[in-house]
Structure 1
Amino acid sequence: MVVMGHIVGPYGLSGWIKVFPYTEYIDGLADYPIWWLGSGNGEWRNFIVNASGVHGNRLTALLEQCADRNAATELKGLKIAIPRSQLPVLSNSGRDGYYWSDLIGLEIINQQGEALGKVTGLLETGANDVLQVQDLKDPERERLIPFISQVIVKVDLKACRITVDWGVDY
C-alpha cells in the first residue's frame, strides 16, 4: 500500500470528507474508485468512492460507507492508501522517479551529515516542488527545501534518507 493522503475531517452534513492529498495534483486520488483507509499500522479497510471534488486546496469525497456527518467525523485522521500495483510505474530518474508519499517521513541530512529534519509534506509551486521539513530540535520550525537537482544530492528510500546541499542556517 502507498499512503496517498489523510482525512482532515467531515465536509458538510451528508457524509462528505475533506482530504489532504499527498499527490502531485489535488484531485490525483479521484482517479481511484476504491480507497483503503487505516491508521498506518498495516490494517486497511476498502471504501468505495461515490463522488469527489476539489474545494480550494483540499479534495472532498463521498464514500459509499459514509452516510452522514457523524460517520465522516469518525474517519478523521485516517490515512488513505492505494495498492502500489494500481499506481503507474515511475521512471527512476529525477523528480518523476518518486511518489510524493514515498518522500514523506524521510530524514533530511546535508552533505556535512547534519540532520535538518523530516519531510512532512510537499508543495507544488509551479516552478518546482518544495519539501516541507519539520526541524527535529524545534518541531514548531519548518524548513522549505526546493526539490531540484541543484539541492537534492541523493534520495535513498531504503535508508529513509534524503541528502541535500543545504545549510542548517538556511
Structure 2
Amino acid sequence: MIIIGKIGKPYGILGWIHLISFTEIKKNIFYYFPWRLSKNNLIINKNDIIIYKKYINNFIIKLKKIDNRNQAFNISQQKILIKNTQLPKLKNKEYYWHDILFCNVFNTKGKKIGLVISILDNKIYNILLVLCKKKNKTIYIPFIKKKIIKKINIKKKIIIVEWFNYK
C-alpha cells in the first residue's frame, strides 16, 4: 500500500471535508480508486464521492452518508492508501517516488553515503533526505539529474550521486 493523499479537517457543517492530494498533478488522485483510509480501513470508491471542488491548493469533497460536521470529523486526519498495483505501469528508466525510498546512496567513488528516508519538495527541485548511520545524522542531497544524480537502479535499490563533501 502507498499513500496518495490525506483526508483533512471537516469543512463547514454539511459534511464536506478537506482532501489533500500527494499526486504530482493534484487532480489525478481521483483516478486511483478504491481508496483505503489508514485508521479505520474504510474503503472509499469513486461512486462514494458525490462532488468535489478545487479549494486553495487541494480539494473539498462531499461523500455519501457523511451529512454533518461530526460525521466528517470521524473520518478526518487519515492517510489515503492504494495498492501500488493500481498505479500505471512505467516505461523503462521511469520510477515512482516510493521506489526511491530506502535506496542506498553511494558517491561516484563507491563510498556509501546512506539510505534515502524521505523526499522533500522545495518547489524548485526535490531533495533526498539521506540517513547516514555511520555519522548518525541526516544530510540533504538535491535531486538534480545528470548534475548530481548520476544513476538510479531501482531493482538493486541503489542511487549513485556526485557528492564528495561527505566525510
Structure 1: distance between partners of 2:122 and 2:20: 12
Task: Find the counterpart in structure 2 of residue 118 from structure 1.
Answer: 117
Identity value in percent: 24
Distance 1:166 1:77, change over 3 A: farther
Structure 1: distance between partners of 2:95 and 2:13: 37
Task: Find the counterpart in structure 2 of residue 145 from structure 1.
Answer: 142
Report whether the alignment pairs 1:55 with 2:55: yes
Task: Report if the CA contact (8 A) 2:114-2:130 is conserved.
Answer: no
Task: Report if the CA contact (8 A) 1:4-1:82 is conserved.
Answer: yes
Report whether the alignment pairs 1:165 with 2:162: yes
Task: Find the counterpart in structure 1 of residue 92 from structure 2.
Answer: 92
Report the TM-score, using the length of structure 1 for normalisation.
0.65
Report whether the alignment pairs 1:8 with 2:5: no
Listed one character per residue, the Cα deviations across residues 7-42 of structure 1 (whole Å, up to 9, x for unaligned) are: 232233322222332211111112345422124xxx
Structure 1 counterpart of 2:69, one-letter code:
R
Task: Report if the CA contact (8 A) 2:106-2:158 is conserved.
Answer: no
Distance 1:114 1:87, change over 3 A: closer
Task: Pick the structure with greater CA Rg.
Answer: 2
Task: Report if the CA contact (8 A) 1:35-1:49 is conserved.
Answer: no
Task: Find the counterpart in structure 2 of residue 45 from structure 1.
Answer: 42
Q: Which sits farther off after the overlay, 149-158 or 70-79? A: 149-158
Listed one character per residue, the Cα deviations across residues 72-95 of structure 1 (whole Å, up to 9, x for unaligned) are: 2233332212334433221131xx
Structure 2: distance between partners of 1:13 and 1:101: 36
2:8 alignment partner, SS class: strand
Task: Report if the CA contact (8 A) 1:23-1:99 is conserved.
Answer: no
Report how far residue 163 of structure 1 moved.
4.5
Report whether the alignment pairs 1:133 with 2:129: yes
Listed one character per residue, the Cα deviations across residues 85-126 of structure 1 (whole Å, up to 9, x for unaligned) are: 433221131xxx2233444x535634132237521444665x
Structure 1: distance between partners of 2:37 and 2:56: 23
| Runs (5+) with no aligned partner, structure 2 | none
Report the TM-score, using the length of structure 2 for normalisation.
0.66
- The root-mean-square deviation of aligned C-alpha atoms, in Å, is 3.5
Report whether the alignment pairs 1:71 with 2:71: yes
Structure 2: distance between partners of 1:83 and 1:72: 24
Structure 1: distance between partners of 2:129 and 2:27: 23
1:60 alignment partner, SS class: strand
